[in-house]
Each structure stands twice: as C-alpha cells, then as structure tokens.
C-alpha cells in the first residue's frame, strides 16, 4: 500500500503552532508522506514558528500583500491552492481552525472532490460577526469536511446539532497542548536567557497582557488600556507586561495611555517560545486571544478574557477562564480579586486541561490512516 499523501496547509502563526505536531507526526510515520504548503498569510511571524519546530515547507505561496482586503486574499488563496492541488495530487487536504487559509483550503478540496480534514473543528459562538470573519470561515469549512477532529465533547455536540454524521466526528483534544508541553519543557531549560532579558521583573507578580482582536478596536481598546492603567496604580508591586501587536489600531491607544507608567512594560510581540516562557512566568493573563485560553490552564494560570463571547466555553466552565468583555470596571475588579485573594486564585487553577493531554496529533494521524483514502 502506498503511503498516505496529505497536503497540510497553513498560513498564520497560530495555525503553524497547532499544525506543527501533526507535521512532525506525519514526517515520523513510515505510512505517511506529507506535503507541507504555507500560504504565508502572516509572513514574519510564521517563519519564527516553522523554524522553531523545524518544519521545512515544500511549497510557500507567499500570498501576503500590504493592506490586503479579505476578498482579494481569499481570491488569491483559492487560485494558488487549486494549482497546488492540481500539481501535487494529494489523497486528502488538512487545515486547522478558521482563517481565510482554512476557508480556501476547504473549498479547493471540495472543488476537486478530495477529503478535507478539519483540525479543531466544531467551534461556534453562534454569532456570525463574532469573531469576524472566523465564525463564517469555520462554518463553511465544516460543510465540506470528511473528518472533523474536534477538541472537546462540546465542539462535537455543536456539529451533531448541525446534523453532521457522528461517524465523521472524532474528539481528539487540541494539538495546541501538544505544542505547548513540548515548548514549555524546552524553554524551562532555556530559562536563563529569558530571565536575563526580563530581569526587570525580579520576583514580582506579573500580569501578562495580549490584545489585538479587530472587534475591540476603538472604544473597546481605550477601556482596556484605562483598566490596565488603573490596575498598575492599584498594584505598584506587580509588573504588567504587554507584548504590543504591530497593528496601528493597537499601537496608538496602547502607547498613548500606557507608555509612561513605571510598572507597565510595553515590549515587542514575543516569538512563540518566548511567549510560552512569559505565560509560564506570569501570575495571571489578560487576553482576547483564543489560543491562550486553551494553553494557560495547562500551566495553571488563570485567564481573564476581554471578549463578550467565546467559542471555548469549556475553560470557562472548568473555572480557569473568566469572560469580562472590554468593560474597564469588570477588568479591574476581576484582576484585583485574583491578585489580592489567594483562595479565589487557587480556585482558578484546574488540574485537568479540558483541551487536551498532548497526544492529539497522534490521534489525528491515526484517524487519517484509518480512512484508507490512499488505497
């Protein structure tokens, strides 16, 4: 029997982090001969991750253009990926999550009648405009999917409700935990380097902040920055570390409101291994990112999420994550409670991460092989 030939497609940094364990697993298996294709939706940030995980791309489409619209990116993505499918003739197409890359990969696979494997399938908020455009992307991807690899029971139930065949839905856990556990182990051994870079932290408690979602631009961001400013004054012994996203919609309000506070440190966006070290070093995390909500429970770090809805309710139910939206008052009161009350803090440290045990990639590759698409 010939080896299974999957085309593994990704284009952004979060996708690369979540696809890396699958790529590695495919490359180590004698039964799989993977083709790795980057769309290059995020260029620099993507390169950092592929180097760290030692991923060699077979094809790099370099689609990123300055000030691209979603429509122009999607159009280029469809055209270029279709040409890749024609040239490589894979047995199936694999992509992760809910980006423009995933939407395009799912459509191209469908047009060529190839099985589509959706990694991290079944996430839903129920609101087509939050997160935007991701909620629409993942719903469309589900329609064309042959193998839904869902992280949790809840995401499986979302797909059952939408009448997808149960035989095609498999709970695999989330591959982000595979990457996290691998990285945290590696960076703890490398800790000296980071401790020197962040020596200003000393032994102080540290709040790690990330914020960049489109739907928070404008007034939402101003509230977030005002909350951080108030907290920094209320907790002068705590360091607030904020790797600031390069988007001008983020840079401007953050620098205007936070640049002169002595215990707030605005740093450049941290490469993945460094960010994992920062999460591991932090006391708690204030974020609007999806991935952080999945990773932090494995490190026993409470997360305060600056979003009104989340497609990751499992961590909220487990107690590890709290949704506060972008309300200044809610952000201030939630973080103040956790920084000043050790009993409340320990309630947020969960023993079992609802998103996985670090063996998700193996389950996914085993499932792909069991489909016998390569016969």
Write out the catalytic residue numbers: 98, 120, 134, 212, 214, 245
* 162: helix, strand or coil: coil
Rounded Cα gap, residues 315 and 294, in angstroms: 7
Question: DSSP string spanning 332-371?
Answer: HHHHHHHHH-HHHHHHT--SS-TT--S-HHHHHHHHHHHT
**Torsion 277-359-288-42 (CA) sign:** positive
Max CA pair span of the chain: 66
Question: What is the H or E stretch that residue 286 is in?
Answer: strand 284-287
Task: Give the CA dihedral 52, 53, 57, 62, nearest 10 degrees.
Answer: -50
HSE-CB for 251 with a 13 A CA cutoff: 6
* 192: helix, strand or coil: helix
């Amino acid at each position: 029997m010939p080896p299974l030939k999957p085309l593994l497609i990704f284009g952004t940094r979060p996708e690369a982090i979540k696809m890396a364990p699958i790529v590695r697993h495919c490359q180590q298996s004698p039964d799989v001969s993977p083709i790795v294709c980057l769309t290059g939706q995020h260029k620099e940030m993507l390169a950092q991750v592929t180097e760290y995980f030692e991923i060699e791309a077979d094809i790099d489409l370099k689609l990123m253009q300055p000030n691209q619209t979603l429509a122009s990116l999607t159009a280029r993505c469809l055209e270029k990926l279709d040409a890749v499918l024609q040239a490589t003739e894979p047995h199936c197409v694999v992509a992760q999550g809910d980006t423009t890359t995933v939407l395009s990969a799912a459509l191209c696979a469908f047009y060529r009648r190839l099985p589509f494997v959706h990694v991290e399938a079944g996430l839903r908020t129920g609101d087509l405009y939050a997160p935007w455009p991701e909620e629409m992307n993942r719903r469309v991807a589900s329609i064309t999917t042959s193998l839904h690899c869902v992280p949790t029971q809840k995401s499986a139930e979302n797909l059952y409700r939408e009448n997808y065949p149960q035989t095609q839905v498999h709970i695999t856990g989330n591959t982000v935990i595979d990457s996290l556990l691998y990285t945290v182990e590696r960076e703890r051994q490398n800790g000296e380097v980071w401790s020197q870079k962040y020596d200003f932290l000393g032994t102080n408690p540290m709040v790690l902040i990330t914020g960049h979602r489109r739907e928070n631009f404008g007034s939402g961001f101003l509230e977030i920055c005002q909350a951080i400013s108030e907290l920094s004054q209320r907790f002068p012994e705590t360091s607030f570390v904020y790797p600031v996203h390069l988007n001008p919609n983020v840079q401007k309000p953050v620098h205007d409101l936070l640049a002169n506070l002595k215990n707030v440190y605005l740093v450049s966006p941290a490469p993945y291994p460094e960010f994992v070290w920062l999460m591991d070093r932090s006391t708690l995390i204030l974020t609007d990112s999806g991935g952080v909500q999945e990773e932090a429970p494995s490190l026993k770090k409470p997360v305060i999420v600056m979003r009104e809805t989340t497609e990751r309710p499992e961590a909220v139910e487990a107690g590890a994550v709290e949704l506060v939206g972008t309300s200044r008052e809610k952000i201030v009161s939630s973080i103040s409670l956790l920084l000043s009350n050790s009993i409340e803090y320990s309630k947020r440290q969960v023993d079992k991460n609802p998103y996985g045990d670090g063996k998700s990639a193996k389950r996914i590759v085993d499932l792909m092989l069991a489909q016998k698409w390569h016969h």
